[in-house]
Structure formats: C-alpha cells, structure tokens
Structure 1
Amino acid sequence: MIIKNAKVITLGNPNLFIEPGGVRIDQSGKIESVFNGDNVPEPMGGEEVIDAHGQYLMPAGICAHTHFYGAFSRGMYIPGDAPDAFPAILDKLWWKLDKSLDKDANYYSAMVCLLDAIHNGTTTLIDHHASPNSIPGSLDILAKAVMESGIRASLCYEVTDRDGKIKSDEGIAENVRFIKEAQSGKFGQQISALFGLHASLTLDDSTLEKARKECPDSSGFHIHAAEHVVDEYDSIKRSGLRVVERLNQFGVLGPKSLVAHGVHIDAHEIELLAGSGTWLSHQPRSNMNNAVGLPNVESMLNMGVKVCLGNDGFSNSSWEEWKAAYFAHKLLNLDPRRMQADKIYQMAIVNNRELVKTQFNGLETGEIKAGAAADLILVDYKPFTDMTIDNFPWHIIFGFQDGMVTTTISNGKILMRDRKITVLDEEAVIKEAKQISTAVWKKYHDLF
C-alpha cells in the first residue's frame, strides 16, 4: 500500500513534519519507507494507492489501561442511594456488573469497545478483564474478538480473593494458560498477555505468593494500585506496608509490570516504581469520575517513573484523555502552569509506545519510520493557526476532536476507510450487544 499527498507527523525523536509526504507499507504490515512529495514511489504489483488529499497522517493511538468488560455499564441504573465514595462504587457497580457477565457478554462488551477504538484511531490496547462467573476460557473469548477486529491487544484476567479461593485459583490458572498460549506465537504479534491482579485490598498474601510462583518469568503483572486511599489503609493493616511496598515484597514490580492509577502513593513508593522499572498508567477521566483524586504525575515523571496514559474503560479517544489530564491537574493545583501538554505527549506518545515494545516482543509502533508497524490514522484536521513541532501537543488539546479520524490502519490492514468500518458489521454487532446488555442489566439488578 502507498499513502500519498498527506501531511505526515512522524511523532519520532525528533518529531518531523513532512508536507506533503507519505508512506509505503510492505506485505508484512510494516512501514517500508517514508517519502516527501517529490519522491512518490511508483506502485508495483497491484499495490493499492491511497490519496490522503492533504489530511494528516499520524501514528495510531495506544491505550495503556482499559476494561472491555465495563462496556455495559453505560447508562445503567444503580439501585438505592448513589455511591458516596470509591469503595461503594466497587461494591454497588463493578463487583455486581462483573458477576453478571457470561461468555456472550464478554465477547460483545469487547466488540463494542474495539469498534470504538477503531473509530477513534486507537489500535493498541492493554486490557484488564473480570468475569467471576465465567473465568475459564474468558481470555480466549476476548482474543477472538480482538483477532476479528484487527486491533492489537494485551490481555489478562483480574485475580481477586473477593469471590473466594476457588475463583482466585481459577483466575490464576486462566492467566497462566493464556500467557503460555500468547507466548507460543499462536496470535502472532496481535495479542500478548500479562498476569492480571485486581488490587492489594482484595488479595491475600497466599494468593500473591501463588501468583508470583505461577507467573512465567517472561511475563509481568497488571494491577490497580492505590486508586483510593482505602487501598493504602488496607495494605498497612494487612502487612504494615504501603501498597507498592507490599507489591514489591511479593515480586509484583518489575520492567514488564504495569500498575494503574497510583493516586495515593507516597515518595518512597514512587522511588520503588522508578527503581524497579515498573510502568504506571494514568487515567484522569476515571479518577475524576470516581472522585478519588489525581496522582502526582509530574513528580513521578521527574523521579523517573515511566508514566503512561490509559482510559480505564472510558471511550477510546486518546485525545479526550489528553484534554482531561491537561485541565484536571491545573484545577487540582490551582495553577495554570501545571501539567503542560509536552508532559502529556511524553506519557501518551513516548512512554506508551515504549510500554508496547515491552509487551509485544520489541514491536516498534507509535512512530512513522521505516521498520515500524503500520499502525496509522488519517486525520481531517484543518488548523487555522500555525501548527509546528513545538506547539503540536497544544493543538491536540485545543484543536483535535473526536470524529476527525477518517481512516484507521493496523499492521497495514485498513480497519476503517472514510469513517466506515471495513472489518466488522458494525450495525449487527451493536444490535446483538444491545440485546445482551438487557440480559446483563437484569442479572445485575437481581443481585440487589
């Protein structure tokens, strides 16, 4: 495939604007070459040529932490008084919704999230799954949806003791089985696996010990950490250690492990994350929605923590998460100088692609360069002020919007062309998902 007549934004180091320019994609789904408008290659052997007509050609988005299983929470009525804090949100919403999921619900909740990702130009996602009444084989179901969509994803099952030891053991077994399958090459480079854990506050010492023992050395963990202060108090009560200290004691930290949130960690915990090379994913929209506070991201970055950007199951528009991070930290600190857009660029672009490299056997993506995976988007953005390399992150915050992505390509395969999904029957998926969501809502309400 050749894409020509584009305004190329490489997002490399350094970031380059090539206008006009384009790329040639080889048969393996990688970028073969990047060219300027004076050197458009001649198509060979039936190569498809896409004329971008002056649209921006950029790397596709990456999401460092999401939850496909939460899709059917949208618009769902929660009986009784509104949850007054995060522990009540867990108890009244998420820990009843996940119990209401079966195989079909797992599949279609993933499918609608994948459709949303394609529409928003996000082609790599790191998911964290829970369905305690449908654990064995649940990751295979998600993998089926991911493979059909053409998206790239890292999958895991959220091990927890909140539903008893039998189910926590099932979760451990599901992770171990699926990690071995993913590492066997069964899914190529489209799917990888982590060992999922819920959070310190729902994990006993014996389960953490077993998880560390069973987890293959070649894999890392994916766990929530200190999303709410209750996680810290619970950890201190259990062990006399703060959350990250406790996870470190059980060997959960490391350069392939990913912790989500870290809202209430202290300076020593930040040092442990930085020193161990552990990744941390920031989800500002979720943190605001749950009123749990916001992590001290700027200090984490300054201390060497590899902070990434996820969405925690919100929409897969990475730009919306950029905007939330930009505004929320300013408001929290009552200081408009805080959380500048270049910090968000570091998380969402640079760190996210480095995280993907650790999870997908060194895969290069998130940058337009020869040899990188052709994970690309065309964006119909018409700036009415100058857009330069220096001010580009601020154009993302104040200019780029949902719906501007017209074409999404993953590994050289077109998933959406001119805003039309090409790999899935979108109407059929949504119709079936709506019927299944009705059954899920009934099961959910029956638990009250």
Structure 2
Amino acid sequence: MTQLNYRQFEQPCLLAPDWLMLADGPVRDHAVLLDGERFGDVGPLETLRAAHPEVAVVALPGKLVMPGFVDSHHHLTQAFGKALVFGEPSEIFRRVWVPMESGLTPDILYLTAKLASLEALRGGFTTVCDAGTRASEGLDAIARATTEVGLRCVLGRVCNDKRGDQVLEAGPILAQAERHIADWQSNPLVTPSLAVPIPEIATDAMLHRVSSLCAEAGIVFQTHVNEHLVAVERSLEQRGLRPLEQLYRAGALGPQALLAHATLLTPDELMMLRDTDSAVSYNPVASAWKGNAVAQAQLMHSLGIRVALGTDGTRSDGFRLLDYAEAAQRFAFGMAVGDSSCGGGWPWLDQGTRGGASVLGLNTGEIAPGKAADFLLVDLEVPELLPSWDLSWELVRLANRDQIQGVFVAGRLRLWQGWPLDWDARALMAEVNELAKAVVSGAPIQKIHPYTDAHRRDWLAERGGERHA
C-alpha cells in the first residue's frame, strides 16, 4: 500500500490519482490542477503535464479523488442528543429537540455545532445545510464553529410567525430575515438560508413572504414537509390541507424551496413538486430510524424532480448514506415490482454530491474547472473493493468512511486520516462529553422508549428471567 504524507499537497500541484470522479463517472489517467480555492484544469494527465510543466505532479496510486459529499439536511445543534431518540416514536422534535435546544446558550451552540461539523468532515461531507436552530440566539456561534472546522455551511434562520394560537408580528421577523441574508451572503464558507420548521407554525402570508425573500436573494427556503402521518393528519384537521398542499396554496413552492423528507406524497403532490421545480432532501436514514415512510426518490428522479441526500443529523457518514439511499428504495419500492437496480448506483452518488450542491445553489459537488475545490482523497487499496468491476456501484454499496484519507474544502486540507491538522479535536470531545450530560439532564426531555439496559431488564423480567438464545 502506498504511504502518503499530507505535506505532498502544497499548492500548486497536479493531483494524479488512479481514478478521478467526474460528472460522467470515474476516469483513469486523468489529473486535476489544484491552485487556490477552485479547481483549475481537469483532463488527461499528459495533457495537463504539458500545459503546466512548472507544476509538481502528486502521483496517487491506488487512490480516488472525488467530490465531497453534500448533506442537504442537517441539525447541527442536536449533536448532544443523537442517541436519545433511538427507538422513539415519530415527532421527536416535540419531546426531545425543542426541550433540549430551547435552552442552549451561544457557547453551547458553538460546541455542539463544532462537534457535529467534525463528525461531518470525518464522514466525507464538505458541505452541510443546517435547517435552523430552535434556540433564541446563537447563529453567529454556529457559523464560527463550522468555519473553524473548515466545513461549508448553508445556515438556516427560523422565521415562523405562529406560536400556538398566537400570531406574531411579521415586521420584526422579516427584518431579522433580511439582516441574516445581508450578514452572510458574501461569506466564503457560510451561505444564508431561511426556514420555517413545519408549515403549520406559519401563516400563509409568512410562508409566501419568506420563500419570496429567498427567491429574490437566490438562496434556499427550507421546511420539513409530509414527514410523519400525524403531521399530515393534524394539518388536515387544522387547515383542511396537507402540508405540501398548504405550501402550494401559499405560493411558497418554487426553485428556491427545499423540502425535507417529503415521504408521504400523493400523485398530485408529486406533480406540484415537478411543476414548481421545488427540490427534495431525501433522508433515508431518518426514514429507517424515526420516520413513517420512505420518500419516492427514484420516482422523483424519473419525473425530473430535483433530489439531494440528507442525514437529518442521524449519522454523518457519506458512504453509508449512499448505501441507505439505494437500499431504502429497493426495500420500499423496488422489491415489490421486481426492480433489482432501483435506477443503478449512479443516481445516489450524484445526489450525494453534485445534486446536493445544485439544490443548495452552490458552486461545488463536481470536479471541473472553476468549481470550488471541495473533494475527498479515498483509498481504494482495501479488500472490500478488490477486484473492482464497477467503481460507482462499489462506492455506493461497499466503500467505508475509514477509506477517506483526506478531506479538502476550498482547496485546503481540513482533515487527514480522520483528524484535523490545525486544532485539537480530542480536547473538544473531552469538553463536550462533560457538558452534554449536564445539558441533557437539565432539559425537560420526554423519552418514551427506555434505554437499552432498562429495556433488556424489563424484557427479561416479563419472561420470568428466561434468556433466549
């Protein structure tokens, strides 16, 4: 196995891996010019060597250079409570996330966002889209955390105008939204976004105005939609419309709209998405862990609906996300109709990289001249990928996070063999480990499913202590 040293990647240089993942698939005997925050030339190695004779060639035998993963739906401020929701029934935001997040101070938001950002980089993500915190303040702290880690972030600001039966004054909310856009629109690593967590906590007028602000600014409007059956039924009871229908009636759909989950859609709602060019964040791990259904992502793809992949803060592991994206389609839809490939491996690879970047309006997700140099260096010299017959499929089903040797964002090496080079990740982990326990114990969280040890004890007690093999 070839030994690498991160000092090899001093710019400018020509990266010459065994495989280079381009928009049309992986190619051999190609190289990419790394010189600054964006990719320079991309093409056959000998062509680039002749065009740039003064630039050192960094040979990368047994390695793949591919775009970094894009997480189109994350909750950076929920890192302290990930395992609290295992086994919980739907709408955990009401019993866990709102009680926990509402009391977080900016200092704590900074730490939880930094931990989540580290996890994301370790999983191969170079961009995350944060759906907005329920804490009353602290967006600056979240942005500081992601920037220090070197993660590209789409930063959502929550803009709902309903609190129970109370309708809040729209003016201050919209003023804060406009200020958020102005504050971050020119930042190199942070892109602003506006969010309404679920349509039912905003008036139609606010949904329309917030979405319109995003359209005018060329940024993303985020909301969770049709994720849980109870939410769909509650919307029908309160407004006589399903959540997606409410957004459509309010004029809040469009190319700027990014709808998280979208798992429970009627044929008419699929047409609403297609006709308005709205986008969907497909979150397959969230469906498996806490959802009521799986988004019809393959059908959406076939209909021309823009789809990206998101973790929903469940597990920041890009390769396992690809695997879940394909497997969930096969279990939920493919097996019933004898579809063995569910579109093949490449759609999920695309949706996890350039598809996500496109949905978020970012100049990333692809290795091409002028694109932001956000990429991964992946070791292919592992038993799992030998012999190799179809690299794209293999990345979806067989690749692992531990193969990621380097993570680069904006041309800069941010992570090497799982750890940052310019700050102390282990010190962060030690600080978080103590603080998180105090935060969780002090929050009015309602956990329905018991912890594993208690569940095992109760299960055995119900059976008179009998142990089953």
Same fold (TM over 0.5): yes
Q: Does 1:349 align with 2:347?
A: no
Residue number among 128, 131, 134 corresponding to 2:134 in the alignment: 131
Give ranges in structure 1 of 5+ residues lacking alignment: none
The 2-side partners of 1:446 and 1:319 are apart by: 32
1:36–1:446 Cα change, 3 Å = closer
1:447–1:326 Cα change, 3 Å = closer
1:230–1:171 Cα change, 3 Å = farther
Q: Deviations over 1:375-409 (max 9, x none)?
A: 1111112231234xxx3331013321011101111
Partner of 2:367: 368
Partner of 1:18: 28
The 2-side partners of 1:167 and 1:421 are apart by: 44
Partner of 1:240: 240
1:144–1:214 Cα change, 3 Å = same
1:445–1:231 Cα change, 3 Å = closer
Q: Secondary structure at the match of 1:194?
A: strand
Q: Is the Cα–Cα contact under 8 Å of residues 15 and 31 in structure 2 kept in the other structure? A: yes
Deviation at 1:215, TM superposition (A): 5.7
Q: Is the Cα–Cα contact under 8 Å of residues 309 and 347 in structure 1 kept in the other structure? A: yes
Residue identity (%): 21
Q: Deviations over 1:337-369 (max 9, x none)?
A: 26332332342234223224x2x4xx2x22222
Q: Does 1:107 align with 2:110?
A: yes
1:325–1:197 Cα change, 3 Å = same
**Comparing 435-444 with 417-426, which one deviates more in the overlay?**
417-426
The 2-side partners of 1:103 and 1:240 are apart by: 39
The 1-side partners of 2:159 and 2:203 are apart by: 11
The correspondence of residues 95-244 of structure 1 with structure 2, limited to 5 A, is 95-132=98-135, 134-135=136-137, 138-160=138-160, 161-162=162-163, 173-183=175-185, 185=186, 187-188=187-188, 190-205=189-204, 207-208=206-207, 211=210, 217-218=216-217, 219-244=219-244
Q: Deviations over 1:5-39 (max 9, x none)?
A: 41232331x224123x4322223x11112354445
Partner of 1:54: 62
Deviation at 1:162, TM superposition (A): 4.5
Q: Does 1:290 align with 2:301?
A: no
1:144–1:296 Cα change, 3 Å = same
The 1-side partners of 2:393 and 2:192 are apart by: 34
1:56–1:446 Cα change, 3 Å = closer
Aligned-partner residue type, residue 15 of structure 1: G
Q: Is the Cα–Cα contact under 8 Å of residues 407 and 416 in structure 1 kept in the other structure? A: yes
Deviation at 1:418, TM superposition (A): 3.8
Q: Is the Cα–Cα contact under 8 Å of residues 5 and 54 in structure 1 kept in the other structure? A: no
The 1-side partners of 2:357 and 2:210 are apart by: 27
Q: Is the Cα–Cα contact under 8 Å of residues 73 and 311 in structure 2 kept in the other structure? A: yes
Aligned-partner residue type, residue 354 of structure 1: S
The correspondence of residues 331-350 of structure 1 with structure 2, limited to 5 A, is 331-333=331-333, 334-335=335-336, 337=340, 339=342, 340-350=344-354
Compute the TM-score of the two structures, normalised by the length of structure 1.
Answer: 0.86
1:68–1:433 Cα change, 3 Å = same
The 2-side partners of 1:168 and 1:402 are apart by: 45
Aligned-partner residue type, residue 353 of structure 2: I
Q: Number of matched residues? A: 424
The correspondence of residues 348-427 of structure 1 with structure 2, limited to 5 A, is 348-356=352-360, 358=361, 360=362, 363=363, 365-382=364-381, 383-387=385-389, 391-427=390-426
The 2-side partners of 1:175 and 1:36 are apart by: 46
Deviation at 1:234, TM superposition (A): 2.5
Aligned-partner residue type, residue 18 of structure 2: K
Q: Does 1:258 align with 2:266?
A: no
1:329–1:421 Cα change, 3 Å = same
The 1-side partners of 2:427 and 2:308 are apart by: 34
Partner of 2:74: 66
Q: Deviations over 1:308-331 (max 9, x none)?
A: 111101222221111112222222
The 2-side partners of 1:223 and 1:352 are apart by: 16
Deviation at 1:227, TM superposition (A): 0.3
Deviation at 1:214, TM superposition (A): 6.3
Give ranges in structure 2 of 5+ residues lacking alignment: 1-10, 448-469
Q: Is the Cα–Cα contact under 8 Å of residues 193 and 214 in structure 2 kept in the other structure? A: no
Q: Secondary structure at the match of 1:281?
A: strand
Deviation at 1:251, TM superposition (A): 2.4
Q: Is the Cα–Cα contact under 8 Å of residues 380 and 403 in structure 2 kept in the other structure? A: yes
The 2-side partners of 1:18 and 1:76 are apart by: 45
Q: Secondary structure at the match of 2:351?
A: helix
Q: Secondary structure at the match of 2:332?
A: helix
Aligned-partner residue type, residue 345 of structure 2: A
Q: Does 1:281 align with 2:285?
A: no
Aligned-partner residue type, residue 68 of structure 1: L
The 2-side partners of 1:381 and 1:348 are apart by: 19
Deviation at 1:43, TM superposition (A): 7.6
Partner of 2:18: 7
Q: Deviations over 1:22-59 (max 9, x none)?
A: 322223x1111235444547685xx7865534311111
The 2-side partners of 1:61 and 1:215 are apart by: 24
Q: Secondary structure at the match of 1:54?
A: strand
Deviation at 1:222, TM superposition (A): 0.4
Deviation at 1:446, TM superposition (A): 7.3
Q: Secondary structure at the match of 1:245?
A: helix
Aligned-partner residue type, residue 27 of structure 2: F
Q: Deviations over 1:178-219 (max 9, x none)?
A: 112122x2x13x111111111123334464366457667224
Deviation at 1:72, TM superposition (A): 0.6
Q: Deviations over 1:86-117 (max 9, x none)?
A: 13x23221221222322122111110111112
Q: Is the Cα–Cα contact under 8 Å of residues 176 and 215 in structure 1 kept in the other structure? A: no
1:108–1:374 Cα change, 3 Å = same
Aligned-partner residue type, residue 182 of structure 2: K
Q: Is the Cα–Cα contact under 8 Å of residues 96 and 445 in structure 2 kept in the other structure? A: no
RMSD: 2.8
